[in-house]
Amino acid sequence: MTIVVTGATGHLGRLAIQSLLAKGVPAADIVGLGRQLDKIADLGVTTKHVDYEDVDALTEAFTGADKVLFISGSEPGKRVPQHTNIINAAKSAGVGLIAYTSIPRADTTDMKLAEEHLVTEQLLAASGVPHVLLRNGWYIENYSIEQALAHGLVGAAGDGQISAATRADFAEAAASAIVGEGHEGKVYELGGEPFTLTELAAEISRQSGQTVTYTDLSPEKYVEVLVGVGVPQPFAEILADSDRAAAGGALFVPRTDLEALLGRPVTPLATAIQTALA
């Protein structure tokens, strides 16, 4: 069984390949696609330099593949055409299953970040290619412990609970969905142990011995702060909108589906913080 992992040179892609290897998938049966192949050269899998804009190269890369772990593109605003290419190429190549990393409640949330994910889900449905949706919640790693220690936490999420999990947990869940049976047609809402940003600040304080506070701003003010530290305006607006949605509960996700795919409890927030501080 040949498994292709797109976006394999990113953080999640590398971890997903490591999880596939840990589950006993032979390295010879894994193909990693990306642009910075040196980042996964040490894993022993087949690698191919593929750009999401190159349909012919994608089709060639997918030819002979049984399953594809489709990790969403990382460039907001470009995802729909890129994802269209990937889906069309996978269909042309006769791929048997696509597992796509989406976003929580992509079909009902008003979060701007979900718009391209929803279109992708709709494209998958229209393609007729068997697929499973992995609606990943926030990564704990989205929050820089180093920055929190230096400047505190700043956002616009209010008291909204955020069911973040480690990238490693999401990667392992994706690997389980790819190698396991019975996942076709399923939609998994994936989240970890919930916390507010105030609680995150408190946990970092507890473990570091340094007082870390969370400053809650309006979405508009948060955009100003992000732009002020160099974040491009369009991306700053997406981040602030995501916090706005989080304040209303959009990023609270029961951990049931993630733990079912993992076959174990999610990694606790305290453990993730401890690892980051080590």
- What the block records as the tokens of 70 is 């489709």
Structure tokens at 211: 């007082």
Mean pLDDT calculated for residue range 270-278: 95
Q: Give the pLDDT mean for 42-68.
A: 94
Q: What per-residue confidence (pLDDT) applies to 77?
A: 81
Q: What pLDDT shows up at residue 9?
A: 95
pLDDT tens-digit readout, 119-173: 999 999 999 999 999 999 999 999 999 999 999 999 999 999 999 999 999 999 9
Q: What is the model's pLDDT at position 81?
A: 95
Overall residue count recorded for the chain in this entry: 278
Q: What does DSSP assign to residue 136?
A: E
86 Cβ contact list (under 8 Å, min separation 6): 6, 52, 58, 70
The CA-to-CA distance between both ends of the chain, in Å, stands at: 38
Answer yes or no: is pLDDT of 209 > 90: yes
Give me the pLDDT at residue 224, please.
Answer: 97
Closest C-alpha to 79, from 28, 36, 122, 29: 122
CB atoms within 10 A of CB 206: 12
The DSSP output letter for 140 is G
pLDDT at 189: 98
Q: Are strands 97-102 and 67-70 parallel, antiparallel or unpaired?
A: parallel
Check whether 176 has a pLDDT greater than 90: yes
- Distance, in Å, from the CA atom of 121 to the CA atom of 175, rounded to the nearest integer, reads 19
CA distance 32 to 72: 14
| Residue 269 pLDDT > 90 | yes
- What percent of the chain shows pLDDT beyond 90? 95
Tokens of 140: 């704990």
The two tokens of residue 158 are 């209010």
Residue 10 in 3-state DSSP?
coil
Q: pLDDT averaged over the chain?
A: 96
Could you read off the pLDDT of 57-116 as tens digits, one per residue? 999 999 999 999 999 988 878 899 999 999 999 999 999 999 999 999 999 999 999 999
Please tell me the predicted confidence (pLDDT) of residue 74.
82
Q: Give the model's pLDDT for residue 76.
A: 79
Any residues with CB less than 8 A from the CB of 195 and at least 6 apart, and which?
Answer: 161, 162, 164, 203, 269
Burial label, 171 (beta-carbon count in 10 A; 0-12, 13-18, 19+): buried
